[in-house]
Amino acid sequence: MDKTKKIDINGESLAYFDNEKGNTTLLFLHGAFINKEYWNAQLSYFSKNYRVIAVDLPGHGKSTYNKGDWTGPRFGKDFSKFIQELALQNVILIGHSFGSDVMLETVAVNDTGIIGLIEIDHMKNVGIELPQQVIDQLVQGLNADFENTCQQFAKQVLLTEATDPEIVSRLLADYKEMNPEIGIPLLKYGFSYPQREVELLKGLKLKLYSIHVNYVPTNEESLKKYLGDNYELHTMEGTCHYPMLEHPLKLNTLLGKLIGEITSK
């Protein structure tokens, strides 16, 4: 991909890729502890027909981490400002994992110019909180041995024994590099996020398109409970949380279909 661009947003320098052409913008938001490079196969594929942008979230990749606020609303303000600063129009937000929550926070702050929302492998148990005992154990582990606890969490929750070893190695390496001063508060906030997520989904005006990988089943009743008919679920075969790495062509085909639906309205 082309060289990384930089933009100052709310006290942070955000690193991003932007092909700067196209009437419809696909804005890709990655998950926690990874970076915009995970979207490379999508950026290449869609750059022919769309303006494609992928950003390193604050505290990730080549973006800075000057502020100590790692809450959802903070990210929403940042990316609402990002969209305004670049004067983006006809924006489809595509969020993976935690990036899906950033997507919801962004559209809640200002939906001007945003025409579509696609979340990838995240909202599988909406509104369901982890037991407090499990949270306490995870937080204790993060404080005592951040690197090992994060890698064990990834192996148990995000990967399976059938996942390609190259994907496993890449993910564990990125988790190993995460700054615990960012990672710990970000994860702690995430543990308490389900009710905030419910609040945002209940107020959602745009239809939510979901792409989930079947290595972990989706509790579709929870989507129906809070979204009614205002969602569309698509399921992919896969062994892990990262379809953009494991099955990029299949994901691109499905994304292309959903993007077509959104832009045709």
pLDDT of residue 1: 55
**Distance of alpha carbon 252 from alpha carbon 265, whole angstroms:** 20
Domain 5-128+194-263 falls under CATH 3.40.50.1820 = yes
Q: What are 158-193's pLDDT values in tens digits?
A: 999 999 999 999 999 999 999 999 999 999 999 889
Query: Is 243 a residue whose pLDDT tops 60?
Result: yes
* pLDDT value for 58: 96
pLDDT at 3 exceeding the cut of 80: no
Q: Of 184, 147, 153, 154, which is closest to residue 169 (Cα–Cα)? A: 154
Q: Please measure the distance between the N-terminal and C-terminal CA atoms of the chain and give it in whole angstroms.
A: 31
Instruction: Looking at 86-131, list the stretches that DSSP marks H as alpha helix, in order from N- to C-terminal side.
Output: 98-109
Distance CA 51, CA 206 (A): 21
pLDDT digits (tens, 9 = 90+) for 129-166: 888 888 889 889 999 999 999 999 999 999 999 999 99
Percent of the chain with pLDDT over 70: 99
User: Quick one: average pLDDT of 27-35?
Assistant: 97
Give residue 132's pLDDT: 87
pLDDT at 8: 97
CA atoms within 13 A on the CB side of 105: 20
CA–CA distance, 25 with 29 (Å, rounded to integer): 13
3-state secondary structure of 220: helix
Mean per-residue pLDDT over the chain, rounded: 95
Tens digits of residue pLDDT in 46-102? 999 999 999 999 999 999 998 889 999 999 999 999 999 999 999 999 999 999 999
- pLDDT of 99 reads 97
For the chain, the domains span 5-128+194-263
Q: Give me the long-range contacts of 167-174 (CB less than 8 A, separation at least 24).
A: 167/240, 167/242, 167/245, 167/246, 170/245, 171/34, 171/242, 174/33, 174/34, 174/35
